């Protein structure tokens, strides 16, 4: 094993321990307010693509998004590093297994849609992960992922607030997180991936807590949806990148 391989294994083990610890509280705030809006906007982008198709979620966590996909897809499968997270997904009856984003345990061209949300920012070698996602996607299929964008109010809010605790033993600082500007995205793309569009999520929200207020939240949600595909999308805290898998050998 090379030193680089050993470092990658150590980083994956660190991430596994972090998310195993996070699993117990991960869904505590995800069913309302800001987090629910982000999840819903991601689902709105994904749903038209997955209906009646074979789908893979990379980094499926507890299965919140995968369960929606499973309701409309022909088949829906998920992988994650964390057995603790996957325990919740298994209780939902989902088809999931432990695996790394950089070594997907599936044959070439196994899926019509492959997606990873809130995942690749924590993967050291994002290029390898995207190459794996492209490998298992069929020609003409879709590969979707998001990027944590430093050109955003979300980045500024994180800088001001500092790392949040996620368990008694861990804070957000315990897992590496990469923030990449839009100009960097094209460098990662594996052969066979072509960007179709980019959407911005959390473009206008200066603080997630604003979505707790009944008078503000509906207005802000509508504004976020309008901004998602407009000129301001490049300032979204999350940049949702929709790629097409082009024909192999073309």
Sketch out the chain's domains with CATH numbers.
Answer: 3-245 (3.40.50.150)
Could you give the CA distance from residue 228 to residue 6 in angstroms, rounded to a whole number? 40
Could you give the percent of the chain with pLDDT greater than 90?
A: 74
pLDDT, residue 28, reads: 84
pLDDT, residue 26, reads: 86
pLDDT, residue 120, reads: 95
Say what the pTM is. Answer: 0.93
pLDDT, residue 10, reads: 72
Q: Which residues of the chain have pLDDT under 50?
A: none
pLDDT tens track for 212-242: 998 899 999 999 999 999 999 999 999 999 9
Strands of the chain (E only): list them: 54-58, 75-80, 95-98, 111-116, 137-148, 193-201, 238-245
Neighbours of 224 (CB within 10 A): 21
pLDDT, residue 3, reads: 60
């Amino acid at each position: 094993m090379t030193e680089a391989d050993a470092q990658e294994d150590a980083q994956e083990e660190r991430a596994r321990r972090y998310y195993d610890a996070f699993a117990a509280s991960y869904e505590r705030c995800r069913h309302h307010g800001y987090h629910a809006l982000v999840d819903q906007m991601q689902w709105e982008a994904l749903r038209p693509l997955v209906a009646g198709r074979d789908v893979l979620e990379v980094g499926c966590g507890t299965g919140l998004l995968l369960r929606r996909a499973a309701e409309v897809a022909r088949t829906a499968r998920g992988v994650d590093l964390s057995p603790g997270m996957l325990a919740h997904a298994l209780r939902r009856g989902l088809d999931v297994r432990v695996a790394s984003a950089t070594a997907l345990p599936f044959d070439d061209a196994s899926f019509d849609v492959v997606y990873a949300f809130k995942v690749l920012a924590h993967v050291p070698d994002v290029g390898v992960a995207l190459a794996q996602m492209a490998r298992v996607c069929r020609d003409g299929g879709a590969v979707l992922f998001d990027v944590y964008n430093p050109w955003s109010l979300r980045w500024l809010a994180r800088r001001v607030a500092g790392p949040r605790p996620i368990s008694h033993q861990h804070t957000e600082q315990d897992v590496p997180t990469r923030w990449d500007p839009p100009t960097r995205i094209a460098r990662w793309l594996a052969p066979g991936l072509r960007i179709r569009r980019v959407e911005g999520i959390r473009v206008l929200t200066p603080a997630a807590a604003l979505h707790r207020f009944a008078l503000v939240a509906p207005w802000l949600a509508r504004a976020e949806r309008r901004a998602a595909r407009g000129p301001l999308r490049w300032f979204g805290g999350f940049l949702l990148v929709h790629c097409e898998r082009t024909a192999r050998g073309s």
